[in-house]
Amino acid sequence: MPDSNDKILQVASAVAASFVKNYKCSLHEATEFFYNNLVRDTSITKLIENAASEKQLSKNSTFKNFVKQHKKELYYKLRQYKGNDASKSGLMQALQLAQNDPSEASRQALLQSIAAFHVSSQERLAQNELFYRHLSQLMPDVHSIVDVGCGVQPLLFPQENFPAMEKYLALDKDKESIWLLDAVKNIFKDRYRWLFPKAWNIGEGWKDVCHEHGLADFDLALILKVVPVVKRTSPVLLEQLAAIPAKTIVISGVKESMVKKQDIERKERKAIDRFIKDSGRNAIAEFELDNEFFIIVR
Ligand SMILES: C[S@@+](CC[C@H](N)C(=O)[O-])C[C@H]1O[C@@H](n2cnc3c(N)ncnc32)[C@H](O)[C@@H]1O
């Protein structure tokens, strides 16, 4: 006869296995999540102990609600762009190391933990070189860039491939990402002279941003993986976003969902196409990476 703990682990494994069929999560992480939540809930552990079989347990409404609620909780946890406390503390250590030894080797190590901390950058990390090659072919002489909803991606920008670049304005409402950009810029001042991070919300508009930098408009705007997010979370801001003062815009969307094993390219394209149409601009070209498509707009 399995003891109570074995039974709980068995149930946690079964729930985890059904979760990972549809979501991008390791079986180990999911099992640990469900197990930790099961052992914390005495009414559920009693149900598990007294259940005659897994089949009987799976029909119990209290158990069914528990599973539904916790699958949702794990889904929302996975949907966070930024890493958990463990990856945060790894990142703080890497920052400290870079502060003590501001060499190119420690900057490269730091960039790995920074990218690992933000899912959007992590997803394209392996293809960064290709991404920036496309960008430099498109705009070899770019002087000014505004990156809206930038996350931590600006830290990975290879300025050496854009010799004319003077100003790269990195805007995001997420204060932690902006804090990180500032912290890295302060350690590697010469390397990031061109980078200007700012905590800013689309709702604040463009006037102050342009005024601060003495620019009427930017050569290039990057709106990477942002249009579908804003459409979902604050659709009223899309009009303001579309008024971005830039000669050329590169807008991206993803092909596969960040969390679900689901193809969402059609849905993302629909949102972006609508955005372009409403902005009164035209799509002039496209390129793509494994899990991201980019539309160039003028
Ligand atoms: C999916 S992430 C993309 C990050 C980055 N562009 C990349 O592709 O690596 C979306 C980003 O948009 C930012 N964001 C969402 N709504 C925003 C708003 N209203 N104003 C400014 N930034 C916003 C989020 O904080 C987040 O960093």
Residue nearest (by alpha carbon) to ligand 1 atom 7: 120
Predicted confidence at residue 87, as pLDDT, reads 75
Predicted confidence at residue 89, as pLDDT, reads 85
Q: Is the pLDDT score of 240 beyond 80?
A: yes
Task: Evaluate: CB of 154 within 6 angstroms of ligand 1.
Answer: no
Residue nearest (by alpha carbon) to ligand 1 atom 1: 225
Predicted confidence at residue 2, as pLDDT, reads 63
Predicted confidence at residue 82, as pLDDT, reads 74
Task: Evaluate: CB of 202 within 6 angstroms of ligand 1.
Answer: yes
What phi, psi does 68 have (nearest 5°)? -60, -50
Q: Separation of 250 CA from ligand 1 center, angstroms? A: 15
Task: Evaluate: CB of 172 within 6 angstroms of ligand 1.
Answer: yes
Task: Evaluate: CB of 121 within 6 angstroms of ligand 1.
Answer: yes
Residue nearest (by alpha carbon) to ligand 1 atom 11: 149
Which atom belonging to ligand 1 lies closest to the Cα atom of 223?
6
Mean pLDDT score, 186-209:
97
Task: Evaluate: CB of 174 within 6 angstroms of ligand 1.
Answer: yes
Q: Cα angle at 44 between 39 and 45, to 5 degrees? A: 50
Pick the residue with more confidence: 69 or 87?
69
State the fold for domain 125-297. Answer: Rossmann fold (3.40.50)
Task: Evaluate: CB of 237 within 6 angstroms of ligand 1.
Answer: yes
Task: Evaluate: CB of 151 within 6 angstroms of ligand 1.
Answer: yes
Task: Evaluate: CB of 146 within 6 angstroms of ligand 1.
Answer: no
Q: Is the pLDDT score of 1 beyond 70?
A: no
Mean pLDDT score, 275-285:
97
Each residue's pLDDT tens digit, 158-178: 999 999 999 999 999 999 999
* Domains of the chain, residue spans: 4-78, 125-297
Q: Separation of 18 CA from ligand 1 center, angstroms? A: 31
Mean pLDDT score, 194-201:
98
Q: Is the pLDDT score of 115 beyond 80?
A: yes
Q: Is the pLDDT score of 98 beyond 80?
A: yes
How does the average pLDDT of the chain come out, rounded? Answer: 95
User: What percent of the chain clears pLDDT 90, i.e. is strictly above it?
Assistant: 89
115-119 contacts at long range (C-beta below 8 A, 24 or more positions apart): 115/152, 115/156, 116/83, 116/87, 116/90, 116/91, 117/82, 117/83, 117/87, 117/88, 117/91, 117/152, 117/180, 118/81, 118/82, 118/83, 118/151, 118/152, 118/153, 118/177, 119/80, 119/81, 119/82, 119/258
Each residue's pLDDT tens digit, 10-31: 999 999 999 999 999 999 999 9
Which atom belonging to ligand 1 lies closest to the Cα atom of 121?
9
Mean pLDDT score, 210-218:
96
Task: Evaluate: CB of 106 within 6 angstroms of ligand 1.
Answer: no
- Under the banding of pLDDT at 50, 70 and 90, the label for residue 269 is very high
